[in-house]
Amino acid sequence: MTDDILKIFNISTTGSGVSTGQHWLPANGAPITSVSPVDNKEIATVKSATREDYDQVVAVAQEAFKVWRTWPAPKRGEIVRQIGEALRGHKEHLGKLVSYEMGKSLQEGYGEVQEMIDICDFAVGLSRQLHGLTMHSERPGHRMYEQWHPLGITGIITAFNFPVAVWSWNTMLAWVCGDVCIWKPSEKTPVTALACQHIAAQVFAANNVPEGVSCLVTGGRETGEWLAHDKRIPLVSATGSTRMGKAVGAAVGERLGRSLLELGGNNAIIITADADLDMALIGAVFGAVGTAGQRCTSTRRLIIHESVYDNFIARLARAYSQLRIGNPLDEHNHVGPLIDRAAVEAYLGAIEQVKQQGGHFVVEGGVLTGPGYESGCYVKPCIAAVENTYDIVQHETFAPILYVMKYQTLEEAIAMQNDVPQGLSSAIMTLNLREAERFLSHAGSDCGIANVNIGTSGAEIGGAFGGEKETGGGRESGSDAWKAYMRRQTNTINYSTSLPLAQGIKFDI
């Protein structure tokens, strides 16, 4: 299956992972081998960037920006529209590649590509709406307004769990804003990045887009550090762990650059006594086991009213017993593998900590073995009854471990929901209008995303995506997130015959 798809995207099994757009550099860095967690087979080996390769890419991107920023925004939007059309044509192939390289279910792989298509559509419309404001001047014969200009190079660091969608969130908006992009994908999922670069390159070549508007540099932690410390890159957008984000934020902040951080989540659903429990069950199960618990928006905690706790836990356990775990390319399976064996070890370590800290398992976990599970990356989604104060509950484990706990009052539930270092996504399940509005009020959820009667996972591209506290404070995708990729300029025009000063200051000469 993968050989055919690699041919479609013109990907060599031993090729370069450094590109300035339509051209690939003869990369000289260490090889990165992509191994599928589905069956432990090698997909391809990619040569990473050396420092010299990286500097060459940045130089080409700098020159490209001088030209790309002069293209009218709607013309840049037309290029993005064509990329969206190309993605539609490749949705099946790219979706399968995402599923196979990352391990998420095939439906989620297709969904990720659809998310890319959706953000292209959003960005095309945005290309005709990069608006500023006008203000009344206190001085007669003067006009004030603001406008937005492109920043330059946007550096994009993405994580393995959404190997292509998060790149598109940043890139499509940055492109219509007039920026050029340098993408460092996760070293765990480099092949899907090569496929995206191939798709963009074909569209760019057909439209004479300058070389350097879409750049790719594969590599490990060191490559990300080059981006973070590089004064030539005014904006670095980084998605990943809080630990990584703190390092990127510090490096970019030290040089007074801009960072857009999308980091860890420790997301909770509050299930009230007035909840539709059937609806709550669907939201909780998908949120907890979708992508094998490897989403930043995965549901980690259920905070359940004591009056419905036993009933809901019984329903939850029955639903977990019906989960099908296996090859994600089989559409009958609900849950695929974790990304690698290191993730499996983190999963097992978290289970042990739950036991040591006093929790007990409602649904037991464990590693699956036998036919179909030879990669060693398949685990059982599990449910642990805990206290919110447990140290392990306060941390994000990227695995399908769901923590459940009781509450008595809504104020108590909201306090528990907020009492973690992270602040990405949150939800409440209730048919009580007062409870819903209380959850969404100033004294409610402290997260960047707060939902009513839907789960924590599965955000649409129309709204700004991001979170507070240790989630980093960044916003990507919809709403006015485009402003992160531009610089604001205030302009004052004097069309009078004199030069009055503001604040009534007199300066006669």
Q: Is there a catalytic annotation at residue 52?
A: no
For residue 9, give the DSSP letter: T
pLDDT score of 509 = 79
Kindly state the tokens that stand for 392: 């392990």
What are the φ and ψ backbone dihedral angles of 229, each rounded to 5 degrees? -90, -5
CATH number of this structure's domain 2-263+472-489, picked from the four choices 3.10.20.30, 3.90.700.10, 3.40.605.10, 3.40.1390.10: 3.40.605.10
pLDDT score of 459 = 85
Task: Say how far apart CA 158 and CA 66 lie, in whole Å.
Answer: 26
pLDDT score of 411 = 98
Across 2-30, average pLDDT: 93
Please say if the pLDDT value at position 239 is more than 90.
Answer: yes
- Residue pair 306/155 in contact by the 8 Å Cβ criterion: no
pLDDT score of 1 = 66
Q: Got the DSSP string for 332-393?
A: T-SB---SSHHHHHHHHHHHHHHHHTT-EEEE---B--STT-TTS--B--EEEE--TTSTTT
% of residues, the chain, pLDDT over 70 = 100
CATH number of this structure's domain 267-461, picked from the four choices 3.40.309.10, 3.60.20.10, 3.20.10.10, 3.30.70.2740: 3.40.309.10
CB atoms inside a 10 Å sphere around CB 184: 29
pLDDT score of 508 = 82
pLDDT score of 280 = 98
Task: Say how far apart CA 82 and CA 76 lie, in whole Å.
Answer: 10
What is the band of 458 on the pLDDT scale with cuts at 50, 70, 90?
confident
Based on the number of CB atoms within 10 Å of its own CB, is 277 exposed (0-12), middle (13-18) or buried (19 or more)? Answer: middle
Q: Got the DSSP string for 491-502?
A: EEEE-SSS-PPG
Please say if the pLDDT value at position 3 is more than 90.
Answer: no
Across 488-496, average pLDDT: 97
pLDDT score of 32 = 98
Please say if the pLDDT value at position 246 is more than 70.
Answer: yes
Please say if the pLDDT value at position 2 is more than 80.
Answer: no
Across 220-227, average pLDDT: 97
pLDDT, tens digit (0-9, with 9 covering 90-100), for 294-309: 999 999 999 999 999 9
**Inter-helix orientation angle 165-177/106-126, to 10°:** 10
Please say if the pLDDT value at position 178 is more than 80.
Answer: yes
- Residue pair 198/9 in contact by the 8 Å Cβ criterion: yes
Catalytic residue, chosen from 108, 115, 211, 262, is 262
385-404 b/e with 16+ CB inside 10 Å = b?
Answer: bbebebebbebbbbbbbbbb
pLDDT score of 353 = 98
Task: Say how far apart CA 44 and CA 356 lie, in whole Å.
Answer: 41
pTM score: 0.97
Residue 337 backbone zone (phi > 0: left; psi -120 to 50: alpha; other: beta): beta
What is the band of 338 on the pLDDT scale with cuts at 50, 70, 90?
very high
pLDDT score of 71 = 98
Nearest to 313 by CA among 380, 361, 365: 361
Cα separation values, 389 from 75, 272, 290, 403, Å:
53, 20, 25, 11
* Domain edges within the chain: 2-263+472-489, 267-461
pLDDT, tens digit (0-9, with 9 covering 90-100), for 203-217: 999 999 999 999 999
pLDDT, tens digit (0-9, with 9 covering 90-100), for 370-397: 999 999 999 999 999 999 999 999 999 9
DSSP tally for the chain: helices H, then strands E: 14, 23
